[in-house]
Structure 1
Amino acid sequence: MDKSLSDIGRGAVPLRRVLKRVAFSIAGLVLAAAGFFSWQSFYPVQAANGWSYRVLHEQVPKAASLAMLSDGAILVSQELREGRGSIVRIDGPGERHEVLGGLSKPDGLIAARGGWVFSQEVADKPVMFLDDGVVTPLFEGSGVQGLWDDGENLYAIEDRKHIGRLLRYNWQSQSVTVVRDNLDEAESITRCPDGRMLYTKKAQGVVRVLAQDRSDPVLIGGLNQPTFLRCDERGLWINEDSTHRARLLLITPQGKQQTILSFLKAPQAVIATGNGSYLVAEGGRDRVLELTPSDSTPR
C-alpha cells in the first residue's frame, strides 16, 4: 500500500529540531573548551612542598630577562614588538625607570665587562653592549635570544626554525665563531659548575650537552617547550615557555627532577637574588615572582 508524504513524515524528528540540537551541542562544546582554557589561564600558580612564592611586581609587560643590581634593584626586559620593547629598572619599592626604549622583543640580558649585553629576538638585530647609558653594537645576529658570558667569550644562540646558530664572540679579538648551525628553535645557553655547556631545543622538548665531537647528547627530554636554563649549586633550572600549565623544573646534581612551580603562563628567566630566594619572570601574566625555599639562607 502506498503511503502519502504526510504519513512518511509522521513520527519522524523534524529537520529543524535536529539542526537545533546539533547547534546546541556545538555551542556546549565551544563553551566547555573556552571554560577549560580559561581555567588553565587563571588557575593560580602552585609551589612544591618546601617552597613558597609571592607576586613581587605586577604590570610588567611581557617580562622576559632579569638581572640583579648591586643596590637590590632589578633590570627587566619587556619583550614587546615593533619598537615598543624596553629595559626597565625596578627599585625595591616598585618605582620604575626606563633604562633603554625603542627595542623590538628584547630578550637576552646578561652582565658583562662592567655593563650589560642584550639581544633582540628579531631578524638582523645585532647583539648590543650597554654601559653607562652608551649602547655599542658587538656583532650581528638574527633572532638572538639566549646569552652567556664567561669573561673571555660571549655566547649567543639564535631562536630560528632549522637555521639557528650558536655564536661565540671573543672579547679580545672581537671575532665571531659559529659553534653550531642548523639549530631548530634553540633558545637558551648556559654553563654549569661542572663545566658542561647546555642548550635547549624548544620544539623537540630537550636539553642537549654541547660536546667537542659535536654529538651533543640529550641530557633531558620530554619537556614542554623548554626556554630558559640556569645552573647553580641547587642544580639545573628549566622554565617551560608554554601559555598553559607551564612548569619551573629543578634537576638536582643527583639527577632527580622536581617541579618547583606549576600552572605558570609563559615563564622566562630565573635569577638568584643573593638572599636565598629567586626571581621568576612570568611573561604570560606580565609579572615578576619571588620564589623562596623553606631553607632560605643568604648565598
Structure 2
Amino acid sequence: MPQSSVRSPRRSLVRLVLTGTGSIVVAALAFFAWQGFYPVQATDDWSVAVLHKNVQKAASLVPLPDGSLLVSQELKKDKGNILRIAADGQRRVMVDGLSKPDGMIAARGGWVFSQESDGRPVQMLKDGKITDLFMGQSVQGLWDDGENLYAIEDRGENGRLLRYRWSDGELTVLRDKLQETESVTRCTDGRLLYTEKKKGVVHQFSDDGKDPVLLAGLNQPTFLMCDQRGLWISEDSTHRARLLLWDGKGEPRTILSFLKAPQSIVPDGKGGYLLAEGGRDRVLQLIPAK
C-alpha cells in the first residue's frame, strides 16, 4: 500500500517564519529606499529646485560676487576639497587634499575654512595664498563678525567654542565639554547661538556662562543662519530631515522636508537661498513665492 505524504508541523512552521522574515526584510528595504528617493517637499509659499548635481558630500557654501559658488566637498582622508562652480557651470578645485572640509565663510577679503578632523588647522585663502590661523580639533562651524572669528568643534564629549581675535591672533576658549557642537552664528539682534546636535538643542551664548536653551526637541540640528526672516536650522539626519525657520515665537516652521543630511544654507543674492544637501551630493535653490 502506498504511504501517504504528511507535512511535518515543524517544517511548516520554519517555512512560515522564513517567509515572514523575508517579507519583513523586503518591506524594510523598500521603506529605506522610499525615504532615500522620495522627493524633497517645500511648504506652500516656497519652491525648491536642484541647482548643482554631483557635488560630493556638499557641506558649506560661499556665493562669490561674480556669480560663482564655492562648495566644500566633505570627503575623508585627504580626499576632500573646495570646489568653485562658475555661473556657466564650469568647475575648478581651489584647494585639494583636505580631510572633511566642513566650515567655510567669507572673511577679510578672502575666505576661511575648517576641517572636521583632529589636528587640522583653521586656514584662510586670500590672494591665492593659504595661511594657517589656529589649530583646532574637528572644527566644523565658523562665524566672522569682522573683529573676531568664532569656531566650534564637533566632538563627542569635549567640543569647544573658540574665539580668534584678528587684531593679534589671540585664541580664547569660550566654552568646553560640549557634545557634538556643529554650528555657531550671530543673529541681527546680537545674540550668539550654537547647536548641540546630539542633544537636539540650540543654545544662546550668555556672559554668565549658563547658555540657556533657546530651542529643544530638534532632530540633529547642524547648521544655523540668521537673517530678516528669522533663524534657519538644518537637520543633519540621513532620512526625512527638515529645513526649519523660526521667527522667535512658538515652534519652528518646516520649510523643506524629506531632505537627506542637509548642511549649510546661505542667501543666493536674489531673494532666495542655496542649501547644501550632502546626503544626495547636490546644491538646492530655495525660492520664495512671488
Q: Does 1:180 align with 2:175?
A: yes
- Report what 1:106 is aligned to: 101
- Report what 1:159 is aligned to: 154
Letter in 1 for 2:86: D
> Which residue among 81, 86, 89 is the counterpart of 2:84?
89
Range 118-127 or range 88-97, more displaced: 88-97
Q: Distance in 2 between matches of 1:249 and 1:147?
A: 20
- Percent identity between matched residues is 60
Counting matched residue pairs gives 286
Q: Distance in 2 between matches of 1:55 and 1:137?
A: 34
Q: Does 1:205 align with 2:205?
A: no
Structure 2: state its 5+ residue gaps. Answer: none
> Which residue among 128, 142, 147 is the counterpart of 1:147?
142
Letter in 2 for 1:184: Q
Offset, 1:255: 4.8
Runs of 4+ in 1 over 3 A off after TM superposition: 10-13, 253-256
State the TM-score, normalizing by the size of structure 1. 0.93
- Report what 1:15 is aligned to: 10
> Are the equivalent residues in 2 in contact too, given 1:68–1:75 (CA < 8 A)?
yes
Q: Distance in 1 between matches of 2:88 and 2:246?
A: 33
Letter in 1 for 2:205: L
Deviations 1:103-145 (A, max 9, x none): 1100000011101100000011010011122111100100000
Deviations 1:225-284 (A, max 9, x none): 000000000000000000100000000144552100000000000000111010000000
| Secondary structure in 2 matching 1:124 | strand
> Which residue among 35, 55, 61 is the counterpart of 1:66?
61
Q: Distance in 2 between matches of 1:11 and 1:206?
A: 62
TM alignment of 1:270-289, pairs within 5 A: 270-289=265-284
Structure 1: state its 5+ residue gaps. Answer: 1-9
> Which residue among 158, 165, 168 is the counterpart of 1:170?
165
Q: Does 1:196 align with 2:195?
A: no
| Secondary structure in 1 matching 2:29 | helix
- Report what 1:233 is aligned to: 228
Letter in 1 for 2:212: P
Offset, 1:162: 1.0
> Are the equivalent residues in 2 in contact too, given 1:58–1:286 (CA < 8 A)?
yes
Range 10-19 or range 223-232, more displaced: 10-19
Q: Distance in 1 between matches of 2:220 and 2:72?
A: 20
Offset, 1:153: 0.6
| Secondary structure in 2 matching 1:140 | strand
- Bigger Rg, which one: 1
State the TM-score, normalizing by the size of structure 2. 0.96
Q: Distance in 1 between matches of 2:149 and 2:8?
A: 72
Deviations 1:202-244 (A, max 9, x none): 0000001001111111111110000000000000000000010
Deviations 1:178-208 (A, max 9, x none): 0000000000000000100000000000001
Letter in 2 for 1:244: H
| Secondary structure in 2 matching 1:35 | helix
| Secondary structure in 2 matching 1:239 | strand
Q: Distance in 1 between matches of 2:163 and 2:52?
A: 34
Letter in 1 for 2:9: P
> Are the equivalent residues in 2 in contact too, given 1:234–1:253 (CA < 8 A)?
no
Q: Does 1:37 align with 2:32?
A: yes
Q: Distance in 2 between matches of 1:13 and 1:214?
A: 70
Q: Distance in 2 between matches of 1:280 and 1:51?
A: 13
Deviations 1:77-117 (A, max 9, x none): 00001111000110122110111111110000001110110
Letter in 2 for 1:141: G
Range 130-139 or range 184-193, more displaced: 130-139
Q: Distance in 2 between matches of 1:93 and 1:53?
A: 20
